[in-house]
Structure 1
Amino acid sequence: MGLFSRLFGSKTSEPASAVEAEPIEYKGYFIYQEAMEEGGQYRIAGRITKKIGEDTKTHRFIRSDVLATESDANEFMLKKAQMFIDQMGDDIFA
């Protein structure tokens, strides 16, 4: 099996970009921009976390919007996350 894998290539089970996103702090929340590559474009995605008491709460979201570049998708995600925090506060985690 190893010979065929080397000749024809093999798919790995780990994603190519398993790099942890650096969070951006906003009003006590941490926003992680995690655009997802999809068909040559990038889907707006990420997560919002906040430490409440002893627990760290997380809200993950994936939007239907796709943009041409990863940086555009991440920038749009940041703006959407900030607006979501402003509107919902800790109810994000309810």
Structure 2
Amino acid sequence: MSLFSSLKSIFSGGEAKPKEPEAMPSVEYNGFTITPAPVQEDTGFRINGTITKGDQTHIFIRADTLPSADSCAQEMIRKAKQMIDQQGDRIF
């Protein structure tokens, strides 16, 4: 371990492992299943989840962060519906 990495670990409190996203209740929309799974970060919750139809899955990740997991899930669902309306099956 180098001197720099030793000092960094002392002042940063070690490396924190990112928390795994926790899937929230799914919503059915026009034959698609939207499942939000907000990712907790230092600045809030990042929009994350999946859009599935049959055996096809699209991983949905956005740069937006919101202060609560519930508001993040609602925004993910809104954006996913918009994407489904615009692209339909082409998202796969």
The TM-score with structure 1 as length reference comes to: 0.72
| Contact residue 23 and residue 49 of structure 2 kept, 8 A | no
User: Equivalences for 1:11-30 in 2 at 5 Å?
Assistant: 20-30=23-33
In structure 2, the residue matched to 1:87 is 86
Quick one: which amino acid aligns to residue 75 of structure 2?
F
Rounded to whole Å, the distance in 2 between the matches of 1:68 and 1:20 is 17
Alignment equivalent of 1:31, drawn from 34, 38, 41 = 34
Q: 1:16 to 1:91 in 2, by over 3 A?
A: closer
Rounded to whole Å, the distance in 2 between the matches of 1:22 and 1:68 is 19
Quick one: which amino acid aligns to residue 62 of structure 2?
R
Q: 1:75 to 1:20 in 2, by over 3 A?
A: closer
Number of aligned residue pairs: give it: 75
User: Equivalences for 1:67-82 in 2 at 5 Å?
Assistant: 67-82=66-81
Rounded to whole Å, the distance in 2 between the matches of 1:91 and 1:75 is 23
What 5-or-longer segments of structure 1 have no aligned partner? Answer: 1-12
In structure 1, the residue matched to 2:47 is 44
| Contact residue 50 and residue 57 of structure 2 kept, 8 A | yes
Rounded to whole Å, the distance in 1 between the matches of 2:31 and 2:20 is 31
In structure 1, the residue matched to 2:9 is none
Quick one: which amino acid aligns to residue 86 of structure 2?
Q
What 5-or-longer segments of structure 2 have no aligned partner? Answer: 1-16
| Superposed CA offset, 1:53-84 (max 9, x none) | xxx00000210000100111000000000000
Q: 1:50 to 1:84 in 2, by over 3 A?
A: same
Structure 1 residue 30: Cα displacement: 0.1
| Contact residue 24 and residue 73 of structure 2 kept, 8 A | no
| Contact residue 44 and residue 67 of structure 2 kept, 8 A | yes
